[in-house]
Amino acid sequence: MTDLSARARTLREVLALHNYRYHVLDDPTIPDAQYDALYQELQQLETLHPELLTADSPTQRVGAHARPGFTQVTHRIPMLSLNNGFLNSEIEAFDRRARESLGVDCVEYACEPKFDGLAVSLTYEKGLLVQGSTRGDGETGEEVTANLRTLHTIPLSLPIKNPPERLEVRGEVLMQKADFEALNIAQKARGEKIFVNPRNAAAGTLRQLDPALTARRPLSFFAYGVGALEGFALPATQGALMAQLALLHFPVAAECALVSGVEGLLAYFKRIQNARAALPYDIDGVVYKVNDFAQQARLGFVSRAPRFALAHKFPAEEALTEIMEIDVQVGRTGTITPVARLKPVFVGGVTVTNATLHNEDEVRRKDVHVGDTVWVRRAGDVIPEVVSVELGQRPVHAHAFVMPTHCPVCGSQVIREEGESASRCSGGLFCPAQRKEALLHFAHRRAMDIEGLGDKRVDQLVDGGWVHSSADLYGLTMEQLSQLPLMGEKSAENLIAAIQRSRTTTLARFIFSLGIRNVGEATARDLARQFGDLAPLMSASTEDLLQVPDVGPVVAQSIHDFFAEGHNREVIERLQQQGVHWPIHEASSTLPLSGKTFVLTGTLPHLSRDEARARIEVLGGKVAGSVSAKTHYVVAGSEAGSKLERAQALGVTVLDEAQLLLLLKQEHSPS
């Protein structure tokens, strides 16, 4: 190594250390001027000797240029969500289940703040930050490496001699309260957009296409777990992992604590609730995680969330305001929802002007009148709702809500079926409101992801008679679009390009985009995984559908009814003719157990059949009914019969429950 390259390396290391002391520890040990001098020395060296420049040089935080869009990345291990609890009884039940499943008297928990920001994943290969991405839908997110590199609290390389082959650190990006206030003051002075809350400001900043803009707005990061690992010795507990991440210079919340039993959890909750207002960043609750990773693995997952962790949320914020009017909204499936138009009120971090009243019965039950003073509640990203009425303040002119007999949009009759709480417009896709909602859903970022197809464009396209169903989108031309009011040539081009791009999608997104009643994102993914392609799903019987994890009779019936409808089949056929396609079996190909077939037989000591199946499928494995030469593993419990014999005859690997759990654990490093 030459002297110059040794000097460059020393400078990088020293600067990274002082950067860490300044930004993460808030405890600088050299004056700013000295830091600047070292920084300039490195910059000069790199200018004179470009060969000395490395990706983790502190001069390279804002390296990349603005890009036309983000690329999608598939997470090696899905980024799951957390189950929520609000009441002490829910926390007690969580602890009881953990104790009973683990067969212990008392469980040790790692407690952490629940940051109100955005989950991100940072991948380090051989110690270098090579990729940063958003959580997205949990399976795929957006690649935002260049933006994340601009965060001074994120190390560009790991400060250790022998870094692991791969370490994926997961955590939350957020904007601190003081930074948010300062940003809004600056935005206002420049006549630019004011952000409603720190979370939105952080999200907007992270999704900037120009990293230089991200760099100008202060974002913070806190680590709370890991994802895919190679050559990294995972410590035995969450507490030890956090300590290790701190040693690797990742910011870890000072409020993290270890506690025992449910008393410990509830005491922690109280403590953090009292500290909440004084914290430098927004939190919406706390997170409890079973501390021991071996115990976490034994508890496993239900659907999309771990059984070993729980978010204990703070009660939603409420505020008083007045109802000026009650309108109805026609939803995607024709549901007519009464919506209260409110005197604007600031609650839960945003100004609320509308709140849902859910349905006719709810309006009656809460006895809501137009003109009433009401309590409005908003929590997280959920739609604000009217909680209760201050009856003492009802004015004389207040009047009751009457559900319209005809759809306010298309005039079709409004019907309410026996035993149903929802009233519906009977106009189906003839109702422009339903058509518009269906199109917006189809174009949604988590569905076909057609950027630029928002409320206003959909209104224009439907009202102008250009688009009747989603399939019509793919026939739109530049000429047609440029006739629309307020549509410049550039936006028309962009919209056509976005529609064009959406032709290549995934099966899960496509299923979700169809807007089948009761089929959300998670169910769409499960269906994609189970059926592998659209044709078998379309011809599935309700019995077939009931085999899918988490699909019960109501959902199975909705799916079956949807595909039985000629109009829906026709639209799907036209979409495919227009070139909408997806790779077959894509959903599971990148998961650790994809391509592996399991057969379950006999009774397992701890796991039910359904649990075992769910845990295999979450990692991309398939569970089949019978043993063949293609079976990879047979999992045998007590009283296993002919399937076990057949497995032995065919030489298929037989696992007991403990071996299965070990396999799942190896393939699934907890986060």
Residues classed as catalytic: 114
Of 224, 401, 442, 582, the one binding ligand IVH by CB under 6 A: 224
Q: How far apart are CA 155 and CA 164, in angstroms?
A: 15
E strands, 245-392, are: 257-260, 283-290, 301-302, 305-306, 309-313, 317-330, 335-347, 350-356, 369-370, 373-378, 385-389
Token pair of 555, please?
């959902």
Count residues binding ligand IVH (CB under 6 A): 16
For ligand IVH, the binding residue among 167, 201, 242, 287 (CB under 6 A) is: 287
Please identify, using beta-carbon distances, which residue of 284 and 657 lies nearer to ligand IVH: 284
Among 119, 241, 376, 462, binds ligand IVH (CB under 6 A): 119
| 668 binding ligand IVH? (CB under 6 A) | no
* C-alpha pair distances (Å), 212 with each of 7, 65, 185, 207, 219: 28, 8, 20, 12, 13
Q: Minimum Å distance from CB 379 to ligand IVH?
A: 13
Nearest CA among 316, 315, 285 for reference residue 379:
316
Q: In the complex, what is the shortest distance from the CB of residue 319 to ligand IVH, in angstroms, rounded to a whole number?
A: 25
Give the separation between CA 211 and CA 279, rounded to whole angstroms.
28
Q: What's the min distance (Å) between Cβ of 370 and ligand IVH?
A: 37
CB atoms within 10 A of CB 18: 19
Question: Is there binding between residue 112 and ligand IVH (CB under 6 A)?
Answer: yes
> Minimum Å distance from CB 277 to ligand IVH?
18
Binding flags for ligand IVH, 307-336, as an x/- string (CB under 6 A): --x-x-------------------------
Window 79-108: contact mask with ligand IVH (x via CB under 6 A): -xxx--------------------------
**Smallest distance, ligand IVH to C-beta of residue 118, A:** 6
Task: Pick one of 163, 239, 300, 306: the residue that binds ligand IVH (CB under 6 A).
Answer: 306
| Number of CB atoms found within 10 A of residue 541's CB | 9
* Residue 156 φ then ψ, to 5°: -80, -25
Specify the stretch interacting with ligand IVH by CB under 6 A; choose among 111-119, 356-364, 431-439, 503-511.
Answer: 111-119
- Which amino acid is it at 422? A
Residue 282 or 526: which CB sits closer to ligand IVH? 282
Instruction: Give the nearest distance from C-beta 408 to ligand IVH in angstroms.
Output: 37
Give least dist CB 172 to ligand IVH, A.
Answer: 5
Q: For the beta carbon of residue 657, count every other beta carbon within 10 angstroms.
A: 18
Which residues 595-634 are close enough to bind ligand IVH by CB under 6 A?
none
> In the complex with ligand IVH, which residue's Cβ is closer, 173 or 559?
173
Comparison of 24 and 330: residue with beta carbon closer to ligand IVH: 24
Dist. CA 291–CA 276, nearest whole Å:
23
Question: Does 135 contact ligand IVH by CB under 6 A?
Answer: yes
User: Closest residue (Cβ) to ligand IVH?
Assistant: 119
* φ, ψ dihedrals at 598, nearest 5°: -115, 150
Nearer to ligand IVH by Cβ, of 206 and 309: the residue is: 309
Residue 311 or 635 having the CB closest to ligand IVH:
311
**Kind of pairing between the strands at 108-115 and 140-142:** unpaired
Q: Is 172 in the site for ligand IVH (CB under 6 A)?
A: yes
Q: What phi and psi values does residue 286 have, to the nearest 5 degrees?
A: -130, 165
Binding test (CB under 6 A) with ligand IVH, winner from 114, 424, 435, 615 = 114
The least distance separating ligand IVH from the CB of residue 193, rounded to whole angstroms, comes to 24
DSSP string, 447-458: TT--TT--HHHH
Helices (H), 86-197: 88-102, 145-149, 177-189
Interaction between residue 358 and ligand IVH (CB under 6 A): no
Question: Looking at beta carbons only, is 407 or 593 nearer to ligand IVH?
Answer: 593
Question: Looking at beta carbons only, is 225 or 637 nearer to ligand IVH?
Answer: 225
Answer yes or no: are the C-beta atoms of 96 and 322 closer than 8 Å. Answer: no
Q: Which is nearer to ligand IVH, 315 or 579 (CB)?
A: 315
Closest approach of ligand IVH to the CB of residue 93, in Å: 18
CB of 579 to ligand IVH, least distance (A): 34
Give the Å distances, CA to CA, from 271 to 111, 198, 234.
11, 23, 30
- Segment interacting with ligand IVH, rule: CB under 6 A, options 66-74, 303-311, 532-540, 558-566: 303-311
Q: Of the listed pieces 78-86, 209-217, 496-504, 646-654, which binds ligand IVH according to CB under 6 A?
A: 78-86
Nearest to 405 by CA among 336, 340, 341, 358: 336
Q: Using alpha carbons, select from 143, 217, 160, 207 the residue that is nearest to residue 187.
A: 217
Q: According to DSSP H, which parts of 426-533 are helical? A: 432-443, 455-463, 470-473, 478-482, 489-502, 507-513, 521-531
Burial class (CB in 10 A: 0-12, 13-18, 19+), 151: buried
Stretch that binds ligand IVH, among 101-109, 114-122, 350-358, 436-444 (CB under 6 A): 114-122
Q: Which residues are 292's β-sheet partners?
A: 237
* Listed ranges 181-189, 305-313, 447-455, 632-640: which one lies at the site for ligand IVH (CB under 6 A): 305-313
Among 155, 211, 225, 300, binds ligand IVH (CB under 6 A): 225
Read off the tokens for 497: 């390009």
Binding site for ligand IVH (CB under 6 A): 80-82, 112, 114-115, 119, 135, 172, 224-225, 287, 306, 309, 311, 671
